[in-house]
Amino acid sequence: MKLLNLEFTHIAHDTFKIQRSKVIYTDPFKVKSQDEADIVLLSHEHFDHLSMADLNKVISQETTVVASPLCKDDLQSLRVKATLFLDPGKMLTVGDIRIEAVPAYNTNKFREPGKAFHPKEEKRLGFVITMDGTRVYFAGDTDLIPEMKSIQCDVALLPVSGTYVMTVEEAVQAAAAINPKIAVPMHYGAIVGSNADATKFQSLVKNCRVEVI
């Protein structure tokens, strides 16, 4: 689906193929066919975001991988053009593509009392990508967090499933805080969440256009 001047394909879960001048993949998972990405973004090390089998379907020796430091051990033997690691708040450029790392963490989703699924101090990531003049926020696995108020983007890719990430209602609040031109739901239909969550998100967001892709 074309959103503004970029083409978006939602493959599964948090996996998007975003393309125009370059081909970017986010958190490859359940990838069905071979492809060649210019850039792959990896938000963190969990199996549904860093899947080596799926990553190997989209990389080549010309691919640049940009990842959370939590992915270092798994990526040591990767044969790509470059493997780069970012902490939250840092940025880099790959050719003409600007990539900013932003925090992604839980505030109220816990595996047991006091232990979040995605603790802030472990430095899991979201990303803001600027390609061909369009800014895309890929939220990663996160709750509604204060840092979202300072994110400026045209398209926001937001998790909606609950359990490990924002609920639909929290994602609606995130869309209001960020106020993008377009919001797109993700993180449903593979591990947790369903198409109904995406549809509900679309029905509740009032401040911007929502596309389910």
For residues 210 and 162, give the distance between their C-alpha atoms in angstroms, rounded to a whole number.
18
- Cα–Cα distance, 58 to 211 (Å, whole number): 25
pLDDT tens, residue by residue, 170-208:
999 999 999 999 999 999 988 887 899 999 999 999 999
Contact criterion met (CB below 8 Å) for 37 and 45: no
Residue 210 is predicted with a pLDDT of: 98
Amino acid residing at 127: F
pLDDT at 48: 87
**Residue 176: other Cβ atoms inside 10 A:** 16
| Rounded-to-integer distance, Cα 131 and Cα 188, Å | 26
Distance in angstroms (rounded) separating the CA atoms of residues 18 and 25: 6
In the chain, what is the greatest distance between 2 CA atoms, to the nearest angstrom? 46
Domains along the chain with CATH numbers: 2-210 (3.60.15.10)
Helices (H), 61-194: 168-178
pLDDT in tens, the chain (213 residues): 999 999 999 999 999 999 999 999 999 999 999 999 999 999 999 988 999 999 999 999 999 999 999 999 999 989 999 999 999 999 999 999 999 999 999 998 888 888 888 889 999 999 999 999 999 999 999 999 999 999 999 999 999 987 889 999 999 999 999 999 999 999 998 888 789 999 999 999 999 999 999
Give the mean pLDDT of the chain: 95
CA 134, CA 209: separation in Å to the nearest integer?
Answer: 16
* Tokens representing residue 90 in the block: 């840092």
Q: Which of 154, 152, 163, 153 is nearest to 191 (CA)?
A: 163
Cβ–Cβ under 8 Å, residues 44 and 75 = no
Closest to 40 in 3D by CA, of 52, 54, 58: 58
> CA 42, 74, 38, 86 torsion: positive or negative?
positive
For 75, other C-beta atoms within 10 Å of its C-beta total: 17
Q: Dig out the tokens for 60 from the structure.
A: 């080549």
